[in-house]
Amino acid sequence: MKKAEIVIHRDFQIGRIDRRIYGSFVEHLGRAVYQGIYQPGHPEADEEGFRKDTLELVRELKVPIIRYPGGNFVSGYNWEDGIGPREQRPRRLELAWRTIETNHVGVNEFASWAKKADSEVMMAVNLGTKGVDSARYLVEYCNHEKGSYWSDLRRSHGYEEPHNIKVWCLGNEMDGPWQIGHKTADEYGRLACETAKAMKWVDPGIELVVCGSSGSGMPTFGDWEATVLEHTYEHVDYISLHTYYGNRDGDTPDYLASSLNMDNFIRSVASICDYVKAKKRSRKTLYLSFDEWNVWYHSNDDDRRIQPWSIAPHQLEDIYNFEDALLVGSMLITLLKNADRVRIACMAQLVNVIAPIMTSGKGGAWRQTIFYPYRDVSTYGNGVVLSPVIKSPCYDTKSYNEVPYLDSIAVLNEEENELIFFAVNRDLEEEMLMEADLRAFTGLSLVSHTVLENDDLKAVNSEENPYNVLPHDNGKAAVEEGRLKALLPKASWNVIRLKIGNKE
- Nearer to ligand AHR by Cβ, of 66 and 348: the residue is 348
Per-residue string for binding with ligand AHR, 15-54, x by CB under 6 A?
A: ------------x---------------------------
Amino acid at 497: R
Rounded to a whole number of angstroms, the minimum distance from the CB of residue 242 to ligand AHR is: 6
In the chain, what are the helix, strand and coil shares in percent, each to the nearest 5? Answer: 30, 25, 45
Q: Which of 393, 419, 407 is nearest to 335 (CA)?
A: 407
The site map against ligand AHR for 345-374 (x = CB under 6 A) is: ---xx-------------------------
Considering the rule CB under 6 A, would residue 225 count as an interface residue with ligand AHR?
A: no
Shortest spacing between CB 76 and ligand AHR, in angstroms: 11
Q: How far is the CB of 244 from ligand AHR (least distance, A)?
A: 7
The one segment of 65-73, 321-329, 339-347, 356-364 that binds ligand AHR by CB under 6 A: 65-73
Minimum CB–partner distance for residue 212 and ligand AHR (Å) = 12
Q: Which of 494, 364, 475, 312 shows the shortest CA–CA distance to 421?
A: 494
| x/- track of binding to ligand AHR for residues 431-470 (CB under 6 A) | ----------------------------------------
For residue 18, give the nearest of 229, 169, 200, 207 by alpha carbon: 207
Which CB atom, from 117 or from 348, has the smaller least distance to ligand AHR?
348
Q: How far is the CB of 292 from ligand AHR (least distance, A)?
A: 5
Q: Give me the catalytic one of 173, 323, 418, 453.
A: 173
Tell me: does residue 243 bind ligand AHR (CB under 6 A): no
Residue 128 vs 381, nearer CB to ligand AHR: 128
> CA 103, 107, 112: angle at the middle one, nearest 5?
115
x/- site string to ligand AHR, residues 330 to 349, per CB under 6 A?
------------------xx
Q: Closest CB to ligand AHR among 71 and 383?
A: 71
Q: Name the closest residue to ligand AHR (Cβ).
A: 71
Counting residues that bind ligand AHR (by CB under 6 A) gives: 10
Reply yes or no on whether 207 is catalytic: no
- Name the DSSP letter for residue 431: -
Catalytic residue of the set 101, 109, 292, 418: 292
CB contact burial 358-388 (16+ within 10 A = b; e otherwise): bbeeeebbbbbbbbbbbbbbbebbbbbbbbb
Q: Which of residues 189-218 bind ligand AHR (CB under 6 A)?
A: 214
For the question of residue 145 being annotated catalytic, the response is no
Cβ proximity to ligand AHR: between 101 and 173 the closer is: 173
Contact 36, 54 (CB under 8 A): yes
Choice between 72 and 454, CB closer to ligand AHR:
72
The 8-class DSSP code of residue 51 comes to B
Helix (H) or strand (E) holding 133: helix 132-143
**70 sits near ligand AHR (criterion: CB under 6 A):** yes
**DSSP H helical ranges for 316-389:** 322-337, 371-380
Classify 478 as helix, strand or coil. strand
Residue 24 or 454 having the CB closest to ligand AHR: 24
Taking the C-alpha atoms of residue 395 and residue 35, their distance in angstroms, rounded to an integer, is 43
Closest Cα partner for 136 from 179, 198, 92, 86?
Answer: 198
- Cα distances (Å, whole numbers) of residue 385 to 268, 294, 430, 470, 484: 21, 22, 28, 26, 18
466 in the Ramachandran plot: left (φ > 0), alpha (ψ -120 to 50) or beta? alpha
Site for ligand AHR in 285-304 (CB under 6 A): 292
Around 57, how many Cα atoms within 13 Å sit in the side-chain half-sphere? 24
Cis peptide before 69 (omega within 30 of 0): yes
Taking CB under 6 A as the criterion, the residue among 36, 69, 71, 212 binding ligand AHR is: 71
The answer to the question of residue 172 lying near ligand AHR (CB under 6 A) is yes
Give whichever of 319 and 389 is closer to ligand AHR, judged by the CB atom. Answer: 319
How many C-beta atoms lie closer than 10 Å to residue 416's C-beta? Answer: 15
Q: At what angle do helices 258-279 and 223-232 cross, to 10 degrees?
A: 40
Q: Which of residues 389-428 bind ligand AHR (CB under 6 A)?
A: none
Q: Whole-number minimum distance, CB 214 to ligand AHR, in Å?
A: 6
Q: Does 173 bind ligand AHR (CB under 6 A)?
A: yes
Residues assigned a catalytic role: 173, 292
Positions that interact with ligand AHR (CB under 6 A): 27, 70-72, 172-173, 214, 292, 348-349
